[in-house]
A and B are shown apart, each in its own frame.
Chain A
Amino acid sequence: AQKITQTQPGMFVQEKEAVTLDCTYDTSDPSYGLFWYKQPSSGEMIFLIYQGSYDQQNATEGRYSLNFQKARKSANLVISASQLGDSAMYFCAMREGGGGGSNYKLTFGKGTLLTVNP
Chain B
Amino acid sequence: DAGITQSPRHKVTETGTPVTLRCHQTENHRYMYWYRQDPGHGLRLIHYSYGVKDTDKGEVSDGYSVSRSKTEDFLLTLESATSSQTSVYFCAIRGQGDDIQYFGAGTRLSVL
In the complex, the answer to whether B99 meets A47 with C-beta atoms within 8 Å is no
User: Distance (Å) between the CB of A98 and the closest chain B CB?
Assistant: 10
Is there contact, CB below 8 Å, between A105 and B103?
no
Query: When the two chains form their complex, are residues A95 and B99 in contact, meaning their CB atoms are under 8 A apart?
Result: yes
Contact indicator B90/A50 (Cβ below 8 Å)? no
Interface size class of B (residues with CB under 8 A): 20 to 34
Cβ of A106 within 8 Å of any chain B Cβ, yes or no, is yes
What chain A residues lie within 8 Å of B96 (beta carbons)?
A: 101
Residues of B within 8 A of A33 (CB): 99
Within 8 A of B (CB), among A96-118: 99-101, 103, 105-111
* Number of residues of chain A lying within 8 A (CB) of chain B: 24
Q: Roughly how many angstroms separate A93 CA and B76 CA in the complex, as a whole number? A: 23
Kindly identify which residue among A52, A105, A109 contacts B42, using a CB–CB cutoff of 8 Å: A109
A68 within 8 A of B: no
Which of A63-98 touch B at CB < 8 Å? 91, 93, 95
In chain A, what residue has the closest Cβ to B90?
Answer: A45
With A44-B106, A100-B99: A105-B58 Cβ-Cβ less than 8 Å: yes
